[in-house]
Structure 1
């Protein structure tokens, strides 16, 4: 599979965003969700707008104390390396987010501690990811909405280079998403411009009055932390 074949073809979208539908099979999705649910309770961190698990370590300005990924995640890190998504690097950190209907995350960027690539496996439910261009002004919070992606279960979304460094992304805290069927709907139903609908063939059959209701979603955000080190046990004992 060549991920470069899945560049989103739309004039609003930088050429460093890719979307691969059906990246994993239904059985793979079920197994991933089972692994996530079976994690011990201390592995979970509970925030007001989502719950999360972290594998591989916690990066900071001094580097990440790297931990081995569990095998059920390592297979996907290996696959993404083989696809050259991380430019030859082997991903070494996975952030798993669980979103219930009505939960989301504010507009943000992943930041300089990571290599400027993020790949996300989407499972459980759809969501809509909004993109804002960072504007060059004295106001650091200045931004402008540009476009959105519909992230369908079992898909892989990839942000690289300009998409990683020059845009913020967010998930609104809502229970359902308004999905336009055609360009006219874009103007009358929503102010969002979803640019990858042509890549998703199942959403129309699930619409109720142009709405998709969210269910529990699990996202696996896979990244590479360049500055990291392993704990050397011989220096402790």
Structure 2
């Protein structure tokens, strides 16, 4: 009996060591108790391969992301941002399925569990403001709830695009016939915006700021008659749209932040044809039949897209100047 327990203990140690080695190879540092917690079923050994209790090779394990993880998400891998760039601007990133369905449900639950006083109704939407008041001279901070900081920390860690923690979040609720006029977020924020979309799809439109076209025109006129002058790219400041599916994360920064306006049409039906220039047309394939009025999804031409339910979004930003005391500017 004693020998049998020794053999079982040795086998368990071997399995844990193998699993830890596989996780390390995948770029994940998981503590031993995480691996032991799933020992009774299958050892989590990576995305596609691993070992069973008897050390035989098995296929199609649960991905390591499904293993219990620390709440702060420090065991999650970072994203390869470059593969998620959409359109001709290298400063717009679209990440589908950034969170799981269960995480979306929990976020929506937490949002609607907030006190009614948290909601502020505007003409075309209502919103919750978290993190504090953005003053012309900076942020007058207020603490954010843990359920929200868990999400913002994940965005920071996975993208690596924010120099410090996100400290301001606007939660917007749009009904199917509501939108927001083209606008810019302004100089108070670090020039990176992360928008997490929940519940239903929508298209966000980017249009060049008038000053960008004026600047291009000025450069073009100056270049006339000059030899070897740089070519002017007429497509550089074209308007375009991005289809934001539920649970996706949109990030725009730098050039897209400073030289473009962004907005959402206040219309129940939207036309996803070539004139609109949807830069992530692959996402159109994911629209449900109830959201398509007519058109051929496979051709991505003349598709009428219908908003069937409300949309909730988390606009996450970093205010650079933070003032602890209102009277010390």
**Structures share a fold, TM > 0.5?**
yes
Structure 2 counterpart of 1:148, from 238, 241, 260: 241
1:80 aligns with 2:158: no
Give the deviation of 1:4 after TM superposition.
2.9
Q: Distance in 2 between matches of 1:145 and 1:46?
A: 33
* Aligned match of 1:56: 131
CA deviation profile, 1:152-210 (whole Å, cap 9, x unmatched): 10100000100111000110110122234xxxxx2xxxx31111022454126442313
CA distance 1:69–1:200, shift in 2 (3 Å): farther
Greater gyration radius: 2
Structure 2 alignment gaps of length 5 or more:
1-78, 216-236, 295-302
Normalising by the residue count of structure 2, what TM-score does the alignment of the two structures yield? 0.62
Give the structure with the higher percent strand: 1
CA deviation profile, 1:64-96 (whole Å, cap 9, x unmatched): 111221111101111122134434321011100
Structure 2 counterpart of 1:100, from 175, 178, 187: 175
Structure 1 counterpart of 2:310, from 207, 216, 220: 216
1:177 aligns with 2:270: yes
Structure 1 alignment gaps of length 5 or more:
139-143, 181-185, 233-237
* Aligned match of 1:2: 80
Q: Distance in 2 between matches of 1:211 and 1:48?
A: 26
Q: Distance in 1 between matches of 2:91 and 2:314?
A: 20
Q: Distance in 1 between matches of 2:165 and 2:190?
A: 11
SS in structure 1 of the partner of residue 156 of structure 2: helix
1:229 aligns with 2:328: no
Q: Distance in 2 between matches of 1:45 and 1:204?
A: 31
SS in structure 2 of the partner of residue 59 of structure 1: strand
Where has structure 1 moved over 6 Å in runs of 4 or more?
Answer: none
CA contact (8 A) 1:56 1:68 kept: yes
SS in structure 2 of the partner of residue 229 of structure 1: coil
Give the deviation of 1:128 after TM superposition.
0.8
Count of residue pairs the alignment pairs up? 215
CA contact (8 A) 1:21 1:200 kept: no
Using the TM superposition, name which of 87-96 and 196-205 deviates more: 196-205
* Aligned match of 1:141: none
